[in-house]
Structure 1
Amino acid sequence: MLNDTPPSQATMEFVTIDELVPQDHLLRKIDKTIDFSFIHELVKDLYCADNGRPALDPTMLFKLLFIGYLYGIRSERQLIREVQVNVAYRWFLRLGLTDKVPDASTLSQNRRRRFNESDVYQQIFDEIVCQAMRKKLVSGKVLYTDSTHLKANANKGKWVKARAEASCRDYLGELDKAVEEDRLKHGKKPLPPRSKKPETREIKQSTTDPDSGYMVRDGKPKGFFYLDHRTVDDRCNIITDVHVTSGNVHDSIPYLNRLDRQRQRFGFEVSAVGLDAGYFTAGITKGLEDRDIYGVISYRRPTHRKGYFYKREYRYDANTDSYRCPQGQTLIYATTDRNGYRHYHSDSKQCRHCPQRECCTRNVNAKKTVTRHVWEGSKERANSHRLTEGGRLIYARRKETVERSFADAKQLHGYRYARFRGQEKVAAQCLMTAAAQNMKKIALLCA
């Protein structure tokens, strides 16, 4: 028999909010495993102690933000509307069924005026990592690093040409020292010191969000983006570092500084790292060797002009510090440039009549030049790591760690787009998203 639903729901029921939240709800597990008491002490200095109107509880404020990042709610106004009707959200925030929910403007103004100029987001992220370490979910032995792009809140058609300071690699001082030693070893005069005036380059600068960068990469969309350089620990996929740059910064530039930051902040004793081909540079491989870290880095085939010899066909002889071309001619050392590359030149008299000249060089002076970095030995040793059994096992874990972390962030936590404009605000979004992912991982593993 078909029954009609009563037109109104006026029945009074005596329930507690705790009864309405399922025992296996994610927020129950997070509340059980994550200690949020540190937030109050962390932000105490950002509030006036004895003046002004009573403030919204900062712990509740950040738990509100975490709900938004956990469930991919991009709008703060929508977040408040969801809290009004979601019993689990109210329970997590310690609000009763009839308690008033904070206004969206209170949430946004606190974020903009009180927290955006501080490092509170970084400190919260670090504390969540420390809590994971205390639960033995982080080893700090094997780390995986990669970057992903977030589409900036900017129209890719609105830009101007501008001069920007060129990105500075964090190992330039060591490179200059190595170049000077190499030139002296070969009887060359030292190069003059680098200009103290920073190098600049012409870029496309967004008129909507000047902090974003115009990204041009193979297989990636073109436009204004930010890059999140993220590191994930091998044991339980806990994110241990988040660093945001504009979209036109190469992955390798901030890597060593961020690696050192993790070792100092968390006391990691890193034994190995897994990286993709974007990090396969002489500076990175030398830096890993100096830190006694086993680097497993993917290989990318270099660009090659059809009809020419491959560079690998020119054999290097370490004993004589020279190259030998496919036709047997010796290329001798000529100089070492500021970027750390040794130049080896052939004898133009022999090249001019060589039958394979068209496959080797079309230089008007009939001279072939081959370059070799002063730290090329480090690259060769790092390249051999990926061919070992241990190296294959380490690299195979990349897709299960950092790549999966990015996939979850984009699929479940609204990570495809930057919610805000400006690098500091986007960095806050990235840190809060990563902290939410870590909280979720801790809760699911420990609750």
Structure 2
Amino acid sequence: MAMRRETGTQGDLVVGWAELPRSPGHAYYDELQKVLLDAGFDVFVENACKPYYAAKMGAPSLPPGRYFRMHMVGYFEGLDSERGIVWRCADSFSLRDFLRLSAREKVPDHSWLSKTRSRLPHEVHEKVFGFVLKLVAERGLVKGERIGVDGSTMEANAALRSIVRRDNGETYRAMLERMAKESGIATPNAEDLARFDRKRKGKKLSNDDWTSATDAEAKIARMKDGTTHLAYKPEHAVDLDTGVIVAAPIHEADKGDTTTLGDTLETAKANLTAVGLAPTPDDPCEIIADKGYHSREVLKGLDDGEWKSRISEPLPANGYLRWQGDEEARTAVYANRARLKSGVGRAAMRKRGELVERSFAHVLDRGGMRRAWLRGRENIAKRYLIHVAGFNLGVLMRVLVGYGTPRERAEAPTNAFLFVIRTDSATGIVIIADIGGTPAMLVVIAAPELD
């Protein structure tokens, strides 16, 4: 036999899709795809988006089902930017299959995500969120009996150095230079300005005086880690019996909890009504919140309505309360206190601390939305809703297949079962194994005799 020499290889001119090397696929995305297809997800979103596209003219756009799936991938993979979503999808055959891309189709560019998002209004994203919520509710994962509410902070895509004064348009740096010169520093450099800003007294940033030049809707706020940034305020209403998020509006970061609670409850009520679980005065839904939501006006508005309050009460400043003849507020506060101090109320508060904070950890921290790369509250709210829809799908998948995220599925422990079968003529070993995301395998080893 003559030795064959390596002279390089010539690529095939034509290769069929079935001939390409393929990975076995990601079991989690395969199961999620099956759930979406069985529910008619693509037909629903195409009908919802149809009014916002031309009937005959123009080039074909990004399919709506692919647009929403890519944002779900952003949640499941923990990707904050749309460029990162595109790169991740282009790097995985499993995600290409999840996006339903053919062999000749490329992963859509990030600009297509921006164009599609600008074309589709916020109402369409709310419909998609409602579709997922209904899909989850059909499996009995929305009870609508106890709703926990809390807010968090999301850093905006705008820097504090870009803020300007509302009255005269002066930038923050220009203000520092002017004040430094007035204090005796003739030609201050960047280091001098930083030192001067750090030591000057009475330093305060107020949203009444300052605004962002790049994102006017972002507000100056203190983040959960103690730093100060331009930010937004996402607020979650979570079903405390299942952990499903029933509402997730985005508010301005300088709005207090008592100010935003009404809008969040209205959104939660509309979503619960859509799945047939609307609260009524005869059958009220419990609202569980921390002491930031406690005020007399809030409790009077909720008293004898469709929401039964169990809101934590802060300690009064001087040790006792003065009512000034407001008997309605007195009745509402005492009734809320009685419900809160009961055993049911204490258990509900513990559940709120667990499930509501878990929803923020999944969507904001693990899901990649703690830092926004979009500008404008409506733009951010559109993408945030789809991330929350992905979170609700994760709750459903945890019930159906035992895993809520692709990473949890991939890191699942290996399960193996060993069986020994004996007959009169031979003995065999049967091994059934489930290794991570791979399908179960059956191995039979036969032997004449086995002791």
**TM-score relative to the length of structure 1:** 0.69
Residues 1:280 and 2:323 aligned together: no
| 1:80 Cα offset (Å) | 2.0
Conserved in 1, the CA contact under 8 Å of 2:221 and 2:231? yes
- 8 Å Cα contact 1:285/1:379 also seen in 2: yes
Pair 41,280 (structure 1): closer, same or farther in 2 beyond 3 Å: same
Does the 8 Å CA contact 1:29/1:444 hold for their aligned counterparts? no
Cα pair distance change 1:70/1:17, threshold 3 Å: farther
Cα pair 1:211 1:423 within 8 Å, conserved: yes
Deviations 1:46-85 (CA, angstroms, capped at 9, x unpaired): 1111111122222122212221232122232332222222
1:386–1:93 distance in 2 versus 1, CA, 3 Å:
same
In 2, the alpha carbon distance for the partners of 1:100 and 1:10 equals 21
Structure 2 residue identity aligned to 1:147: G
Structure 1 position 342 matched with structure 2 position 324: yes
Q: Any conservation in 2 of the 1:419–1:429 contact (CA below 8 Å)?
A: no
2:123 match = 119
Higher relative contact order (CA 8 A, sep 6+): 1
Structure 2 counterpart SS, 1:253: helix
Per-residue deviation, 1:436: 1.2
Change (3 A) 1:382 1:221: farther
- 1:306-385 correspondence to structure 2 within 5 Å: 310-312=318-320, 342=324, 375-385=329-339
Distance 1:219 1:76 in 2: 25
Kindly indicate whether the alpha-carbon contact (under 8 Å) linking 1:214 and 1:222 is maintained by their aligned counterparts in 2: yes
Counterpart code for 1:342: Q
The unaligned stretches of length 5 or more in structure 2 are: 1-7, 168-206, 402-451
Cα shift readout 1:19-50 (whole Å, capped 9, x = no counterpart): 73446x22122212233231111100111111
Q: Which residue in 2 is equivalent to 1:355?
A: none
**Structure-2 residue corresponding to 1:301:** 315
| 2:29 match | 27
Distance 1:9 1:378 in 2: 81
| Alignment CA distance shift 1:217-1:440 (3 Å) | closer
- Pick the aligned partner of 1:404 from 345, 358, 366: 358
Q: Which amino acid aligns with 1:141?
A: E
The residue that corresponds to 1:325 in the other structure is none
Q: Is the 8 A contact 2:147 2:238 kept in 1?
A: yes
Aligned to 1:146: 150
2:216 to 206, 210, 216: 210
Q: Does 1:242 align with 2:248?
A: yes
Which amino acid in 1 is paired with 2:49? V
Q: Could you give the per-residue CA deviations for residues 378-401 of structure 1, whole angstroms, max 9, x where no partner exists?
A: 122212322111111111101221
Gaps of 5+ in 1: 1-6, 164-200, 305-309, 317-340, 344-371
Root-mean-square deviation (CA), in Å? Answer: 2.9
Measure, in 2, the Cα distance between the counterparts of 1:127 and 1:156.
38
Please report how far the alpha carbon of residue 109 of structure 1 lies from its aligned counterpart in structure 2 after TM superposition. 2.1
Aligned structure 1 segments of 4 or more residues deviating by more than 6 angstroms? 7-14, 16-19
Q: What does residue 47 of structure 1 align with? A: 53
AA aligned to 2:298 is I
Q: CA deviation at 1:230?
A: 1.0
Shift of 1:18: 11
| Identical counterparts, % of pairs | 24
Counterpart code for 1:32: K
Does 2:345 match 1:391?
Answer: yes
Deviation at 1:445, TM superposition (A): 1.3
Please, what TM-score do these two structures have when normalized by structure 2? 0.69
For 1:238, the aligned partner's letter is V
Which of 287, 290, 294 is residue 304 of structure 2 equivalent to? 290
Letter of the 2:130 partner, please give it. D
